[in-house]
Amino acid sequence: MADKYIDSISVSGLTSLLLVALSFTASADEPSLIDLPLESLLTMQVSSASKFSQSISEAPSAVQVITAGDIRQHGWRTLEEALNSLPGIYANQDKTYGFLGARGFLVPGDYNTRFLLLLDGQRINDNVYGQAMFGQEFALDMGLIARIEYVPGPGSSLYGANAMFGVINVITQKSEDLPKQKASVAITQDGWREGHALFNRKTESGLGITASVSRGVRQGKDLFYDYAGGGQTTGLDQHQYSRGFARINKDGFTLTAWANQRVVNPSSAPFQTNFNDPAIRIEDTSAHLVARYEKSLSDDMNVDGHLAHSRMTYVADLPYNDATVPGNYVNRDDTDGRWWSGEARALYSGFAHHKLVVGSEFQSDDKNVQLNYDVNIPSAVNSPVNAVESKKIYSLYVQDDWAFRDDWRLNLGLRVDHTSGHSLDTSPRIGLIWDARENTTIKLLGGQAYRRASSYESIYANSTLYLANPAIQPETIRNLEAVINQKLGRGQTLVVSIFNYQLKNLIQQVSVPNPLNPLQDLSQYQNQPSITARGVETTYRLNADDGTHFTTSLALNHTRDAMGQLVLNSPRWIAKANGSKNFGAWLFGAEVNVLGNRELDWKGTGTREVLGTQWLGNVNLIAPKWIPHLETQLRINNVFDRKVIDPTSSDATFPTTPRNGRLWQLGASYEF
């Protein structure tokens, strides 16, 4: 009670201080175009749906866009928070990683392998786990993002593996849209202290130079887990990250490098480690170097290509207590992945009414090693793991966008991928787009995508816990979708998407008998029966002339397994609303996300329980340039202090993980 009273005073005091500062404001600087939210859903240009620039109404997808202005107005600090604002998307977290679900499907702890994550078009899912990073583990500072393009549904016809439920392309701001220098700091009630510095130049010769560094540290906190074997954790959920980004570009050539390191001491006792043990430590690193060149050979021909080298590491120290050894021991996961990738693409529009895209890609492992071993004890409790793999993937794709009438377009795409040691994977796509009226576009879409088992899912094994399955078959998803884009009036748009998909050969971890010890089960990834789903997503947007912006969405999902049962962790409905408005010199943003009932069955006991409706509300207040070049921000997360919990994987110690209650975030940035 006392803590909540103190927190309330803190929030009230911070709000008062900010409003006092605002009272001295006479006027605000006009925001740049990069800060403005989406002006028109039907005319905004996107590039991720077809690998060339086109309007949203022309794109063969129900593509969604989050702009830099949206990120600023709502104060989103992670990619997970931003993506969670989109229709049909829902987020989980386990105090270590952030996870995303879409269209009624999310398996907790599955490493986000069914989304393909791109940074400026470069694939950044790693070569060992196939993991996409969405939380604080994401490699880029949110202030560098120009927009996020989300292309829902199968995307393998252009992008290959992992593009099952969607492609997410994070596009960075150009040098000309960034300030010359910028410094920002942020503090939060739950212990975060963050700093970010930017240096940027665009010379008269056209050379662009951008460099950015970020550092964040979160103090440990106490948290209560109300489960058998749980209780109070003390000083855990410590968190720290370091990020760097650098880019030079001139005359079509761009060289980009980014790297990050993240260390967390989670309170959730992952992988059934000792509860409330400060020895739990998980570290992720990633680094990418990408050289890209783009050139227009003629009015009808554009070519581009890139070559990249990437690296990831994962080290987890997991403490356990075992009766066979004195005291605690530490089990260590030690993973190192390195790979080369590249792409060459040509866009030709010389044929009347056609835009033809032809491309080739490759990815080749430099290193793909997973180790697991016990440390600080004379004799191991667990059998060691030394899983090594070397994969090569070669791909060809072609796509034709044919405007066969003034009001009709046909989009056809096909991609063939060859993974070493496996048969070919073929991914088709078709889209029929009709401009039925001046303000109405109707799309009929169909496609197929696939995902092969990651190295972790197929070859990670030891005799005590895990059994490999190198013969596991790839997942496939087939989707049929109808999309209506309707401009209702000035600044108003409505999008309705009706989808039906079938997911075959789902790759999921299950318990199997141990051939060496009948009294002990092992974990193995196996293909599971089909999952089918149908649903509808409806989104309404208002962008008024007075600066008012409002978006609301409702997603209805009906997701069933082969037995006709509701798929676990599948909400039947998801409702969202967010908006922003200028009040004089300051900007106010607010959002509400509501998640319908879900069924849980932790560890597959066969006993289902219902996780009831959960909702969160966040507010954000910005004082733009109340002192020249200085912008301050106050955000309150979970403003109504709702109790929110997330389901966990079968490897977790507890069935759910609690989220934070109400907390404030205060930030300031200075441009010079």
Please report, as a single letter, which amino acid is at residue 333: D
DSSP string over 463-527: SSSB---TTPPPEEEEEEEEEEEEEEETTEEEEEEEEEEEEESEEEEEEEEETTEEEEEEEEEEE
CA distance 479 to 61: 12
Strand partners, 373: 332
| pTM exceeds 0.75 | yes
Residue-range definition of the domain harbouring residue 537: 2-671
Asked if 613 and 642 touch (Cβ cutoff 8 Å), the reply is: no
Q: Which structure tokens are listed for 127? A: 């070569």
Sequence length of the chain is 672
Contacts with 84 (C-beta within 8 Å, 6 or more apart), sequence order? 90, 91, 100, 593
3-class secondary-structure state, position 573: strand
Quick one: tokens of 61? 């997808």
d(CA 618, CA 7): 16
Nearest one of 438, 594, 476, 609 to 164, comparing CA atoms: 476
Q: How far apart are the first and last CA of the chain?
A: 44
Total number of domains in the chain: 1
Q: Supply the pLDDT for residue 20.
A: 30
Report how far residue 29's alpha carbon sits from residue 439's, in angstroms, rounded to the nearest whole number. 34
Strands 116-119, 166-172: parallel, antiparallel or unpaired by DSSP? parallel
Closest by Cα among 46, 102, 62, 41 to 431: 62
Query: 């207590």: which residue's tokens?
Result: 321
Residue type, 187: I
Return d(Cα 314, Cα 309) in angstroms, integer. Answer: 17
SS3 label, residue 378: coil
Tokens 């790839």 correspond to what residue? 474
Q: CATH code at 178?
A: 2.40.170.20
Q: What is the pLDDT of residue 387?
A: 96
Distance CA 345, CA 389 (A): 29
> Do residues 655 and 602 make contact, with C-beta atoms less than 8 angstroms apart?
yes
Contacts of 96 (CB under 8 A, 6+ apart): 264, 266, 268, 270, 282
Distance, CA of 643 to CA of 632 (rounded, Å): 29
Contact 82, 71 (CB under 8 A): yes
Q: Which residues of 366-389 are buried (b: 16+ CB within 10 A; e: fewer)?
A: ebbbbebbbeebeeeebeebebeb
Report the DSSP beta bridge partners of residue 555. 537, 574
Token pair 């986000």 in the structure block, residue: 112
**Is residue 224 classed exposed, middle or buried when 0-12, 13-18 and 19+ CB atoms within 10 A define those classes?**
exposed
C-alpha closest to that of 128 among 458, 471, 524: 458
Of the candidates 556, 592, 550, the residue with the CA atom closest to the CA atom of residue 574: 556
Task: Tell me what pLDDT residue 41 has.
Answer: 53
State how far the Cα of 178 lies from the Cα of 156, in Å rounded to an integer. Answer: 33
- pLDDT beneath 50, residues of the chain: 1-39
- Phi and psi at residue 267, to the nearest 5°: -85, -10
Q: What pLDDT does residue 485 have?
A: 95
pLDDT at residue 42 in the model: 55
CA-based nearest residue to 278, from 225, 326, 236: 236
**Which pLDDT belongs to residue 121?**
95
In DSSP terms, 646 is beta-bridged to: 657
Q: What is the pLDDT of residue 27?
A: 33
The SS3 assignment for 20 reads helix
Cα gap 193→183, rounded to integer Å? 14
Spatial neighbors of 152 by CB under 8 A, at least 6 apart, are 61, 62, 63, 64, 88, 102, 103, 165, 166, 497
